[in-house]
Protein backbone atom coordinates (compact mmCIF):
# COMPACT_ATOMS: atom_id res chain seq x y z
CA UNK A 1 0.00 0.00 0.00
CA UNK A 2 1.22 3.48 -0.76
CA UNK A 3 -0.21 6.55 0.93
CA UNK A 4 -0.02 10.28 0.35
CA UNK A 5 -1.52 13.28 2.10
CA UNK A 6 -3.82 15.09 -0.36
CA UNK A 7 -7.18 16.24 1.01
CA UNK A 8 -6.93 13.32 3.44
CA UNK A 9 -4.75 10.22 3.29
CA UNK A 10 -5.03 8.81 -0.23
CA UNK A 11 -4.22 5.07 -0.26
CA UNK A 12 -3.47 2.99 -3.32
CA UNK A 13 -2.92 -0.76 -3.31
CA UNK A 14 -0.67 -2.80 -5.60
CA UNK A 15 -0.38 -6.47 -6.40
CA UNK A 16 2.72 -8.30 -5.17
CA UNK A 17 4.54 -7.39 -8.41
CA UNK A 18 4.42 -3.73 -7.24
CA UNK A 19 3.28 -2.71 -10.73
CA UNK A 20 -0.35 -3.74 -11.03
CA UNK A 21 -2.74 -1.44 -9.16
CA UNK A 22 -5.80 -2.89 -7.49
CA UNK A 23 -9.01 -1.09 -8.46
CA UNK A 24 -10.01 0.00 -4.97
CA UNK A 25 -8.52 3.22 -3.65
CA UNK A 26 -9.33 4.89 -0.34
CA UNK A 27 -9.07 8.36 1.14
CA UNK A 28 -8.92 8.36 4.92
CA UNK A 29 -9.78 11.41 6.99
CA UNK A 30 -7.10 11.22 9.66
CA UNK A 31 -3.69 9.77 10.50
CA UNK A 32 -5.39 7.65 13.17
CA UNK A 33 -7.51 5.97 10.47
CA UNK A 34 -4.39 5.30 8.41
CA UNK A 35 -2.67 3.74 11.43
CA UNK A 36 -5.75 1.64 12.19
CA UNK A 37 -5.98 0.37 8.60
CA UNK A 38 -2.28 -0.54 8.62
CA UNK A 39 -2.76 -2.49 11.86
CA UNK A 40 -5.83 -4.33 10.55
CA UNK A 41 -3.98 -5.21 7.35
CA UNK A 42 -1.02 -6.70 9.19
CA UNK A 43 1.28 -3.90 8.04
CA UNK A 44 2.74 -3.17 11.47
CA UNK A 45 4.35 -6.44 12.59
CA UNK A 46 7.06 -4.72 14.64
CA UNK A 47 8.25 -1.42 16.09
CA UNK A 48 10.36 -0.64 13.02
CA UNK A 49 7.32 -0.82 10.73
CA UNK A 50 5.32 1.42 13.08
CA UNK A 51 8.14 3.95 13.16
CA UNK A 52 8.42 3.94 9.37
CA UNK A 53 4.67 4.57 9.04
CA UNK A 54 4.91 7.49 11.47
CA UNK A 55 7.88 8.91 9.55
CA UNK A 56 5.96 8.60 6.29
CA UNK A 57 3.00 10.41 7.83
CA UNK A 58 5.32 13.22 8.97
CA UNK A 59 6.64 13.76 5.43
CA UNK A 60 3.21 13.22 3.86
CA UNK A 61 3.85 10.04 1.88
CA UNK A 62 5.13 6.50 2.15
CA UNK A 63 4.35 2.85 1.70
CA UNK A 64 4.16 -0.41 3.56
CA UNK A 65 3.59 -4.10 3.00
CA UNK A 66 0.25 -5.50 4.10
CA UNK A 67 -0.44 -9.13 5.01
CA UNK A 68 -4.08 -9.37 4.03
CA UNK A 69 -6.53 -12.16 4.58
CA UNK A 70 -8.16 -13.54 1.45
CA UNK A 71 -11.35 -11.66 2.36
CA UNK A 72 -9.50 -8.33 2.74
CA UNK A 73 -7.68 -8.90 -0.56
CA UNK A 74 -10.92 -9.67 -2.42
CA UNK A 75 -12.48 -6.45 -1.10
CA UNK A 76 -9.60 -4.48 -2.63
CA UNK A 77 -9.95 -6.29 -5.94
CA UNK A 78 -13.50 -4.96 -6.38
CA UNK A 79 -14.61 -1.35 -6.36
Which range marks the domain in which residue 27 is found?
2-73
Domain presence at residue 6: yes
Distance CA 56, CA 77 (A): 25
Q: Measured between alpha carbons, how far is 13 from 23 in angstroms, rounded to an integer?
A: 8
Tell whether 48 is covered by a domain: yes
Over residues 24-34, the pLDDT tens digits come to 999 999 999 99
Beta strands of the chain (E only): which ranges? 2-5, 9-14, 21-28, 61-63
pTM: 0.89
pLDDT for 79 beyond 90: no
| Number of domains making up the chain | 1
- Identify the CA nearest to 8 among candidates 24, 39, 32: 32
Q: What is the pLDDT of residues 35-52, one digit of tens each?
A: 999 999 999 999 999 999
For the chain, the C-alpha Rg in angstroms (whole number) is 12
Amino acid sequence: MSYMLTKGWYCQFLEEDLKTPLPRKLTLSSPDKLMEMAERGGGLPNLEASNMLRLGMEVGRGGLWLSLTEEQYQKLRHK
